[in-house]
């Protein structure tokens, strides 16, 4: 500010005070006190007038707290479970070779959906699932890391696309999210935020998990809310699937202890069985020798079980194996030994995840809340991943993303380390043919499976297989153009 301007301001202030200074009987202190008294008197008058105006509606017998939003009486708790990179012919619930007793148990009293489809990619399926919108409407036409600045693909979910958690929170639910996110724009994942598109910005009161597409299960890149944490320090046996279940159980119990009448939402999105395939040794050992017959035979065995269960039509034929994937009989003894081991590791990881999901279900049962809990168990946001290349890898990111070449002697030297914290491993693209034991529908999409249980409402239809609601993207949005 120029000196002249400052001077003018001082002059104006002095002029304004001049009449007061010309009053000889009052000091500045007296003036201040008099002014304060005048203000207080005015305030008393104003307050009295307000009391006069509202007095007719205020009385000691009538409280004036705003009413809290409460969910309707009997509104169910919701447990939404999502696994990662698992195909239709994988879990025992749908005829696969990997035992998933938690899902099996729920299926016995619930519904099996045999025509459930996804977008066949992580982020888009997850965006559609949490918003109930077409993944392009949610600006998530591709995974977050591949977001581009074009409509439907910029990975910036708009405010107009609310999540089910936001809606339910506004109707009296407590909401939480555990495990994988993969719905935050890639450049907004640091501690600098912004955090509007993190789970806690999307209606989830509590988040305990990881923001990216995958993470080391032994030393995960975890956040609680928006704060990075490292809970594995000093815990040599730490593994994420146990930790996720522990935190979900703890949160659910506290909710019901503090506000038993309030329903909860728990979105439980384990990082398993995306790479890296990590599991405790004892869980991997459960599958020792279970894949020695090779992926071609596993396909046949799986399809036979699927027909027996009735989850595929009785006349279903196996699809032809793509030419890029070798027949099991064409492999060397070492290749067979390695690939069978990789399948055991994958199987151990998924079975271990299902076991820990079972702990969450058991905790809800122990609270006496199971009969008022809608459980939706989606086995896979897409089918098995092909990122392991034809021969599998000890390090998915090195091989698949950075072009590192691993030869067979090296892979064999690491065979006993697979599944440990020494590897970031992935199985071969043929993936013991877990993914190829899947009939492909007319649209060329892999049919995934979903299971829903809510005994209080759906028990009348228990044991029936259901072909409704076949897509993560709701029907009203499914046929919108890809460039929206």
- Catalytic site residue 274? no
Decide: 339 and 331 in contact? Cβ < 8 Å: yes
Give the residues across from 450 on adjacent strands. 113, 378
Looking at the Cβ atoms of 84 and 369, the one nearer to Ca ion is: 84
- Least distance to Ca ion from the beta carbon of 426, Å? 12
The first and second tokens of residue 96, run together, are 């696969």
- Least distance to Ca ion from the beta carbon of 270, Å? 11
**What CA–CA distance (Å, rounded) separates 325 from 108?**
36
214 binds Ca ion (CB under 5 A): no
Looking at the Cβ atoms of 123 and 255, the one nearer to Ca ion is: 123
369 binds Ca ion (CB under 5 A): no
With CB atoms as reference, the residue minimizing the distance to Ca ion is: 122
Stretch that binds Ca ion, among 40-48, 173-181, 314-322, 379-387 (CB under 5 A): 379-387
Stretch that binds Ca ion, among 6-14, 64-72, 79-87, 396-404 (CB under 5 A): 79-87
**What CA–CA distance (Å, rounded) separates 304 from 383?**
20
Stretch that binds Ca ion, among 121-129, 407-415, 427-435, 457-465 (CB under 5 A): 121-129
- Least distance to Ca ion from the beta carbon of 380, Å? 7
**What CA–CA distance (Å, rounded) separates 252 from 242?**
15
- Least distance to Ca ion from the beta carbon of 126, Å? 8
Q: Which residues contact 255 (CB under 8 A, 6 or more apart)?
A: 174, 262, 264
The first and second tokens of residue 386, run together, are 């092909």
Looking at the Cβ atoms of 85 and 344, the one nearer to Ca ion is: 85
For tokens 């008058």, the residue is 45
One of 117, 136, 182, 352 is an active-site residue; which one? Answer: 182
122 binds Ca ion (CB under 5 A): yes
Looking at the Cβ atoms of 128 and 374, the one nearer to Ca ion is: 128
382 binds Ca ion (CB under 5 A): yes
Looking at the Cβ atoms of 98 and 411, the one nearer to Ca ion is: 98
Q: How many CA atoms are closer than 13 Å to the CA of 455, on its beta-carbon side?
A: 12
Looking at the Cβ atoms of 85 and 296, the one nearer to Ca ion is: 85
Decide: 436 and 430 in contact? Cβ < 8 Å: yes
Give the residues across from 441 on adjacent strands. none
Stretch that binds Ca ion, among 83-91, 228-236, 292-300, 388-396 (CB under 5 A): 83-91
Looking at the Cβ atoms of 122 and 411, the one nearer to Ca ion is: 122
- Least distance to Ca ion from the beta carbon of 163, Å? 19
**What CA–CA distance (Å, rounded) separates 146 from 31?**
69
Number of residues that bind Ca ion (CB under 5 A): 5
- Least distance to Ca ion from the beta carbon of 122, Å? 4
**What CA–CA distance (Å, rounded) separates 202 from 134?**
17
One of 122, 384, 433, 466 is an active-site residue; which one? Answer: 122
**What CA–CA distance (Å, rounded) separates 286 from 346?**
12
Decide: 71 and 173 in contact? Cβ < 8 Å: yes
223: exposed, middle or buried (Cβ count in 10 Å: 0-12, 13-18, 19+): buried
Q: Of 77, 83, 84, 347, which one interacts with Ca ion (CB under 5 A)?
A: 84
Lay out the site mask for Ca ion across 305-324 (x = CB under 5 A, - = otherwise). --------------------
End-to-end distance of the chain based on CA atoms, in angstroms?
A: 52
- Least distance to Ca ion from the beta carbon of 382, Å? 5
Cα–Cα distance list, 75 to 106, 263, 455 (Å): 20, 7, 13
- Least distance to Ca ion from the beta carbon of 183, Å? 12
Decide: 372 and 121 in contact? Cβ < 8 Å: no
Report helix angle 101-108 to 333-366, nearest 10: 50
243 binds Ca ion (CB under 5 A): no
Stretch that binds Ca ion, among 19-27, 164-172, 380-388, 425-433 (CB under 5 A): 380-388
Q: Of 166, 296, 344, 381, which one interacts with Ca ion (CB under 5 A)?
A: 381
Looking at the Cβ atoms of 80 and 411, the one nearer to Ca ion is: 80
Q: Of 78, 79, 83, 85, which one interacts with Ca ion (CB under 5 A)?
A: 85
Stretch that binds Ca ion, among 10-18, 117-125, 196-204, 336-344 (CB under 5 A): 117-125
- Catalytic site residue 182? yes
Decide: 452 and 110 in contact? Cβ < 8 Å: yes
**What CA–CA distance (Å, rounded) separates 447 from 436?**
11
Q: Which residues contact 64 (CB under 8 A, 6 or more apart)?
A: 58
The first and second tokens of residue 90, run together, are 């994988």
Positions touching Ca ion (CB under 5 A) are 84-85, 122, 381-382
Catalytically annotated residues: 122, 182
């Amino acid at each position: 500010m120029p000196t002249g301007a400052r001077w003018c301001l001082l002059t104006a202030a002095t002029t304004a005070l001049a009449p007061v200074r010309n009053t000889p009987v009052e000091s500045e202190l007296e003036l201040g006190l008099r002014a304060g008294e005048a203000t207080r008197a005015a305030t008393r008058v104003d307050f009295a007038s307000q009391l006069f105006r509202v007095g007719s509606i205020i009385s000691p017998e009538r409280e004036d707290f705003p009413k809290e939003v409460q969910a309707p009486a009997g509104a169910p708790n919701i447990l939404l479970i999502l696994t990662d990179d698992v195909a239709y012919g994988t879990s025992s619930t749908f005829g696969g070779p990997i035992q998933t007793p938690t899902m099996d148990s729920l299926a016995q009293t619930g519904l099996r959906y045999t025509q459930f489809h996804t977008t066949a990619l992580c982020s888009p399926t997850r965006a559609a699932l949490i918003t109930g919108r077409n993944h392009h409407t949610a600006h998530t036409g591709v995974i977050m890391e591949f977001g581009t600045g074009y409509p439907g693909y910029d990975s910036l979910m708009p405010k107009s696309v609310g999540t089910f958690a936001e809606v339910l929170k506004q109707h009296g639910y407590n909401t939480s999210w555990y495990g994988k996110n993969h719905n935050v724009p890639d450049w907004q994942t640091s501690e600098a935020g912004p955090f509007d598109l993190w789970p806690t910005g999307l209606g989830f009161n509590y988040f305990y998990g990881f923001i990216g597409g995958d993470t080391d299960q032994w030393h995960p890149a975890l956040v609680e809310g928006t704060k990075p944490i490292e809970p594995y320090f000093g815990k040599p046996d730490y593994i994420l699937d146990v930790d996720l279940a522990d935190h979900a159980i703890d949160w659910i119990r506290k909710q019901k202890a503090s506000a038993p009448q309030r329903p909860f939402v728990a979105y439980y999105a384990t990082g398993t069985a995306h790479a890296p395939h990590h599991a405790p040794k004892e869980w991997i050992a459960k599958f020792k020798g279970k894949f020695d017959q090779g992926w071609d035979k596993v396909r046949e065995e799986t399809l036979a079980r699927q027909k027996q269960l009735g989850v595929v039509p009785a006349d279903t034929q196996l699809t032809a194996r793509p030419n890029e994937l070798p027949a099991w009989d064409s492999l060397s003894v070492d290749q067979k030994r390695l690939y069978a081991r990789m399948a055991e590791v994958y199987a151990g990881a998924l079975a271990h995840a299902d076991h820990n999901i079972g702990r969450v279900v058991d905790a809800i049962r122990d609270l006496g809340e199971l009969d008022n809990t809608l459980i939706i168990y989606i086995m896979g946001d897409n089918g098995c991943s092909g990122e392991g290349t034809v021969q599998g890898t000890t390090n998915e990111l090195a091989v698949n993303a950075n072009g590192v070449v691993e030869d067979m002697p090296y892979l064999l030297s690491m065979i006993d380390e697979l599944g440990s914290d020494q590897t970031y491993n992935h199985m071969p693209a043929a993936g013991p043919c877990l993914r190829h034991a899947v009939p492909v529908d007319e649209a060329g999409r892999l049919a995934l499976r979903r299971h829903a249980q809510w005994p209080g409402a759906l028990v009348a239809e228990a044991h029936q297989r259901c072909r409704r609601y076949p897509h993560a993207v709701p029907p009203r949005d499914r046929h919108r153009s890809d460039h929206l």
